[in-house]
């Protein structure tokens, strides 16, 4: 089995209830960090990792995502006429090569595991990456690129892992791994949302995976697990039990949980502060409102 990864699955069929009412008509993945939709960051990360085949698992009401990656000829010709070269380049960078993205529908939101399983015929018999666009990760080297490089050496199945404070562990899936400073750790088990004080480590699973087709077979006939959903982590847990061929990869970078309102707002501020065209004005505004709030207390 090759350890080269060229296919990535983007499960974007969730209902995004935490962002209602916005997600009544806008897919969560179209929400922007400053001026780029979440899905654009995910695609850019995949491209930087050498991904050439992109599979979107979508659902009803997600057509804005398909339109976003289409050419926009009218807009392009207006920008050309007005000599807006920079904007034109910005726009062109979002176009995808014909046939690079394939779409498959998840007809019912039965869970992340089920969403990935819906892509099984498009994935075929090769290892594939899974990117959850609402986990946005910044860093010198894109997270998936770090993982693809490590994967080329060791193969198997790999999940991205991040250290979390002990009092936050119960919000995550936590890895049972030997204590080590190594970036890549063999996984002995996983505990979904452990009760306070019972987490086997401080390493939480984050939304980047590299998986073998065996995971898709594990998902065949998979029962609903936590939250009544067909869980991807259950299929990976089965793989740990059957082959032990699962690794946690401690990536370098900062992760923003853009699936939650607080995480999304933090990312918005962090991304805006990293932009030279916005930094000074925003920084001054943040200082001003903090000072006003402190004075009022």
Residues contributing to the site for ligand UTP (CB under 6 A): 11-18, 28, 57, 106, 109-112, 114-115, 132-134, 259
> Tokens 């080297």 — which residue?
141
Q: How far apart are CA 44 and CA 32, in angstroms?
A: 14
User: How near is the Cβ of 113 to ligand UTP at its closest, in Å?
Assistant: 9
User: How near is the Cβ of 59 to ligand UTP at its closest, in Å?
Assistant: 7
User: How near is the Cβ of 106 to ligand UTP at its closest, in Å?
Assistant: 5
Helix (H, G, I), strand (E, B) or coil at 80: helix
Q: How far apart are CA 20 and CA 237, in angstroms?
A: 32
- Of 127 and 133, the one with the shorter C-beta distance to ligand UTP is 133
- Of 206 and 246, the one with the shorter C-beta distance to ligand UTP is 206
- Of 111 and 248, the one with the shorter C-beta distance to ligand UTP is 111
Angle at the Cα of 183 from the Cα atoms of 46 and 265, rounded to 5 degrees: 55
Helix (H, G, I), strand (E, B) or coil at 178: coil
Q: How far is CA 145 from the centre of its chain?
A: 13
- Of 4 and 261, the one with the shorter C-beta distance to ligand UTP is 261
> Tokens 């990935």 — which residue?
116
User: How near is the Cβ of 56 to ligand UTP at its closest, in Å?
Assistant: 9
User: How near is the Cβ of 221 to ligand UTP at its closest, in Å?
Assistant: 17
- Rounded to the nearest 10 degrees, what angle do helices 261-273 and 279-296 cross at? 130
Residues 6+ apart with CB under 8 A from 284: none
Helix (H, G, I), strand (E, B) or coil at 238: helix
- Of 115 and 184, the one with the shorter C-beta distance to ligand UTP is 115
Question: Phi first, then psi: what are they for 45, rounded to 5°?
Answer: -65, -40
Strand bridging mode 7-11 / 53-58? parallel
- Of 15 and 71, the one with the shorter C-beta distance to ligand UTP is 15
User: Which residue's C-beta sits nearest to ligand UTP?
Assistant: 14
User: How near is the Cβ of 23 to ligand UTP at its closest, in Å?
Assistant: 8
């Amino acid at each position: 089995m090759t350890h080269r990864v060229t296919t990535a699955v983007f499960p974007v069929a969730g209902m995004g209830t935490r962002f209602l009412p916005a997600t009544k008509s806008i897919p969560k993945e179209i929400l922007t960090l400053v001026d780029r939709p979440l899905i654009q960051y995910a695609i850019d990360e995949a491209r930087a990792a050498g991904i050439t085949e992109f599979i979107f698992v979508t659902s009803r009401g997600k057509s804005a995502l398909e339109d976003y990656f289409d050419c926009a000829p009218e807009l392009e010709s207006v920008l050309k006429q007005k000599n807006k070269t920079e904007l034109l380049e910005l726009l062109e960078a979002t176009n995808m090569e014909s046939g690079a993205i394939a779409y498959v529908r998840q007809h019912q939101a039965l869970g992340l595991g089920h969403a990935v399983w819906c892509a099984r015929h498009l994935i075929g018999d090769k290892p594939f990456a899974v990117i959850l666009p609402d986990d946005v990760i910044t860093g010198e080297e894109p997270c998936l690129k770090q993982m693809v490089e490590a994967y080329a050496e060791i193969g198997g199945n790999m999940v991205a892992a991040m250290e979390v404070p002990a009092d936050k562990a119960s919000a995550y899936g936590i890895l049972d791994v030997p204590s080590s400073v190594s970036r890549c750790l063999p996984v002995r088990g996983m505990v979904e949302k452990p009760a306070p004080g019972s987490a086997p480590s401080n390493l939480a699973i984050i939304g980047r995976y590299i998986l073998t087709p065996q995971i898709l077979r594990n998902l065949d006939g998979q029962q609903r697990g936590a939250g009544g959903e067909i869980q991807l982590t259950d299929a990976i847990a089965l793989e740990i039990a059957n082959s032990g061929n699962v690794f946690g990869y401690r990536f370098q970078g900062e992760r923003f949980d853009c699936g939650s309102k607080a995480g999304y707002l933090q990312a918005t501020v962090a991304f805006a502060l990293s932009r030279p065209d916005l930094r000074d004005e925003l920084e001054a505004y943040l200082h001003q409102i903090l000072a006003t709030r402190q004075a009022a207390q």
